[in-house]
A and B are shown apart, each in its own frame.
Chain A
């Protein structure tokens, strides 16, 4: 199936741990994104990579570090997890990083920090 996929779907961990979430798209898109959706369903962009190069970096704690090994993958590593990091994290992709391009979202990773 052509899609944006994320692993894991659920992640439960203790405060202070380090964890990674992986994202892959097989749509042939150049641009990938990470979004955070909080408990009120508010969706906010965190990062965007275009062809492995960082182009958007919103005001996100530097405990969050995205890594793009190639343009089909964008992983998110989180150090020293905090309770407030609990949220659903969505990966998305678009053909290019231009103004009028639709973004396609993955199924989400539900992170719970205890």
Chain B
């Protein structure tokens, strides 16, 4: 498949446990951040976003935390389910809606 030989940072998590995925961004002027989920063979799917005037935002089972001081973003997934297995990307908006994506993180949920 597409992931043969690919070595992404991988988080293995037991079903039902919480997952935390971290991301460092580079541009201190970026003011909008998005987390995307990409399942095998599919396009990136929007999960949650956060603007720079916030430090936390919650969705359904997901929470994004933003620390502008250290330019760090995290995604927390509560009660991880098998359907959460995917590659997760953070993206920062650098103006003109130019998204710069971070390196993906693979999440593997163990049933």
Contacts and interface: CB of A to CB of B under 8 A. Distances in A.
A55 B74 CA distance: 30
B98 interface: yes
B97 A42 contact: no
A45 B43 contact: no
Contacts of A34: none
Interface stretch (B12-20, B59-67, B77-85, B87-95): B87-95
A102 interface: yes
Contacts of B51: 100
B101 A48 contact: no
Given A41-B87, A42-B103, A88-B2, A99 B43 contact: no
Interface residues of B, number: 28
A99 B93 contact: yes
Contacts of A103: 34, 46, 97, 99
Contacts, number: 69
A98 B104 CA distance: 25
A108 B42 contact: yes
B98 A102 contact: no
A43 B101 contact: yes
Which among A4, A43, A55 has the highest number of chain B CB atoms within 10 Å?
A43
Given A40-B6, A41-B8, A42-B103, A101 B42 contact: no
Interface residues of A, number: 31
A77 interface: no
Contacts of A39: 6
B45 A105 contact: yes
Contacts of A33: 97
B88 to A, nearest CB: 11
A102 B107 CA distance: 23
Contacts of B8: 40-41
B32 interface: yes
Nearest to A43: B101
Contacts of A104: 46
Which among B6, B34, B43, B101 has the highest number of chain A CB atoms within 10 Å?
B43
